[in-house]
Chain A
Amino acid sequence: MRLEYFQMVDRIAAMDLAARTIVVDCTLPQESPIFEGHFPGYPILPGVLMIETIAQAGGWLVMAGLRFRQMAFLAKVSEAKMRSFLTPGQVIQVEATQEHDGSGYAVLSGRIRSGGKLVAEAGITYRVMDFPNPALRAGLFEVARRVGVPEELLADA
């Protein structure tokens, strides 16, 4: 994870488009300016970044289901719970399940686990739209390849 660049997902570990599920792996960095402020002398991942991590994991699933023809933007967070802290260097898995594939929107539920223990959970609603410009599309595709999105899903976008 590169928190200051909002690169929350390290690698897609598993994605099942038929079952509408995804699992991603992430490792918190040992050092980050974010930890210097949150909190001095007691570095933990901010809860909003736990939510962002769930949203990004689910976002890859939504966009993969759309064969990357459109972009998923975070629109709503519901029932977010941060059950325990995450600290520098900690390894986490994020699971997300798409609950509904709407027209122009999508709804998911997601969970963060570490060592099998549930750390955080949230419901996420995305607004699904055409890419607003080619630069975003190109940048997103670059990240998609880095996190391991199968090339065939990008091919006909």
Chain B
Amino acid sequence: MSDSATYEKVADIISEICGIDRATITPQSHAINDLGIDSLDFLDVAFAIDKAFGIKMPLEQWTQEVNQGGVSGEEYFVLEGLARNIDKLVAAKG
């Protein structure tokens, strides 16, 4: 799946689970700051992404990296960054 296809799938998942108008979601949308996804809805989004791509997003590790200041939250929570990291996980899966 290409980066673009990954982003489209993630945007579809977020739109369906969180009831957000698909047209308002862009690759530059921040899942929390722009789309207002709360932590409980994010669990559902994570579950749907894990299932759709056959991966286990390392959310605890990502959160720790962001909280420790080593990585910007945008790397994981802006959708184009999220899609890029999903692609890495899919590639690593082989």
Contacts and interface: CB of A to CB of B under 8 A. Distances in A.
Interface of A: 75-76, 100-105, 107, 125, 127
A75 B40 contact: yes
B25 interface: no
Contacts of A76: 40, 43-44
Contacts of A75: 40, 43
Interface stretch (B2-10, B29-37, B57-65): B57-65
Contacts of B39: 127
Contact of B61 (A100, A103, A105, A107): A103
B46 interface: yes
A105 B41 CA distance: 12
A28 B44 CA distance: 33
Interface of B: 39-40, 43-44, 46-47, 50-51, 56-61, 63
A125 B59 contact: no
A102 B56 contact: yes
A105 B47 contact: yes
A103 B59 contact: yes
Nearest to B62: A103
Contact of A103 (B40, B44, B51, B60): B60
Given A76-B44, A104-B46, 19 more contacts: A75-B43, A102-B43, A102-B47, A102-B56, A102-B59, A103-B46, A103-B56, A103-B58, A103-B61, A104-B43, A104-B59, A104-B60, A105-B43, A105-B59, A107-B47, A125-B43, A125-B44, A125-B47, A127-B43
Nearest to B58: A103
Contact of B50 (A102, A125, A127): A102
Nearest to A105: B43
A152 to B, nearest CB: 25
B92 to A, nearest CB: 14
Top 3 closest pairs, chain A to chain B, by CB: A103-B59, A104-B60, A105-B43
B32 to A, nearest CB: 15
A9 B57 CA distance: 32
